[in-house]
């Protein structure tokens, strides 16, 4: 047996360590499917509890969009649900930016212990640029939508109350 090798024991894991996690792939997963938490499943595996918390608010926000399409803009439940979708998309974009702009040494120390530092290249930078554009637009749209609905709700409430008599 060569020096430095271990005998093949039954039940032993033949892999030398955890698999390599690409920063570029993680950034693009967060950009494209971050609202569903798939980037977290890629990085931390199926046991990551935070990854499993992403799909519910995203699905509720999608249900709000479908309600507004079916019932119109007067559906108050859709007013509450739609901003959840915008928030989850914005969180995914922010995560893509953070992953993409993490220095290679820090990334590999956190996600690839025991592996040599791999230079990232332009793929992660492009993910950060796209995430910044999409995330900014979605976040501004979510804030504008929520603010508009809030003020419309306040105006409805003021019109519904009868004027006070002197």
Write out the DSSP string of the chain: --TT-----TT---SSSSPP--HHHHHHHHHHHGGGTHHHHHHH-TT-HHHHHSHHHHHHHHHHHHHHHHH-TT-HHHHHHHHHHHHHHHHHHHHHHHHHHS-HHHHHHHH-TTSPP----HHHHHHHHHHHHHHHHHHHHHHHHHHHHHHHHHHHHHHHSPPPP-
Is residue 11, in this structure, part of any structural domain at all? Answer: no
**Of 9-13, 81-85, 88-92, which gets the smallest average pLDDT?**
9-13
Residue 57 and residue 76: Cα distance in Å, rounded?
17
Residue 4 Ramachandran class (φ > 0 left, ψ -120 to 50 alpha, else beta): left
CB 30 within 8 Å of CB 95: yes
**Domain limits for position 43:** 23-158
Please give the tally of structural domains in the chain.
1
Is residue 164, in this structure, part of any structural domain at all? Answer: no
pLDDT classification of 10: cutoffs 50, 70, 90:
low
pLDDT: which is higher, 15 or 82:
82
**Of 38-42, 53-57, 83-87, 114-118, which gets the smallest average pLDDT?**
114-118
pLDDT: which is higher, 82 or 164:
82
Confirm whether pTM is higher than 0.85.
no
pLDDT classification of 14: cutoffs 50, 70, 90:
low
Work out the angle at residue 60's Cα, subtended by the Cα atoms of residues 157 and 65, and round it to the nearest 5 degrees.
Answer: 65
pLDDT classification of 67: cutoffs 50, 70, 90:
very high
Is residue 120, in this structure, part of any structural domain at all? Answer: yes
Is residue 10, in this structure, part of any structural domain at all? Answer: no
pLDDT of residue 153: 82
Is residue 57, in this structure, part of any structural domain at all? Answer: yes
pLDDT of residue 152: 84
pLDDT of residue 39: 95
Is residue 84, in this structure, part of any structural domain at all? Answer: yes
Q: Which of 46-50, 112-116, 157-161 has the highest mean pLDDT?
A: 46-50
Is residue 7, in this structure, part of any structural domain at all? Answer: no
87-112 average pLDDT score: 95
Is residue 116, in this structure, part of any structural domain at all? Answer: yes
């Amino acid at each position: 047996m060569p020096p430095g090798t271990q005998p093949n024991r039954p039940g032993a894991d033949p892999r030398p360590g955890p698999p390599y996690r690409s920063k570029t792939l993680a950034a693009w997963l967060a950009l494209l499917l971050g609202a569903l938490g798939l980037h977290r499943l890629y990085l931390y595996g199926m046991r990551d509890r935070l990854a499993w918390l992403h799909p519910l608010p995203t699905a509720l926000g999608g249900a709000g969009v479908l309600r507004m399409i079916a019932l119109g803009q007067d559906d108050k439940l859709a007013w509450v649900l739609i901003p959840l979708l915008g928030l989850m998309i914005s969180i995914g974009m922010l995560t893509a930016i953070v992953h993409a702009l993490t220095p290679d040494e820090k990334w590999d120390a956190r996600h690839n212990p025991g592996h040599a530092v791999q230079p990232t290249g332009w793929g992660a930078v492009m993910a950060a640029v796209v995430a910044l554009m999409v995330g900014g637009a979605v976040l501004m749209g979510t804030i504008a939508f929520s603010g508009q609905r809030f003020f419309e709700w306040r105006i409805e409430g003021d019109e519904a109350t009868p004027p006070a008599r002197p």
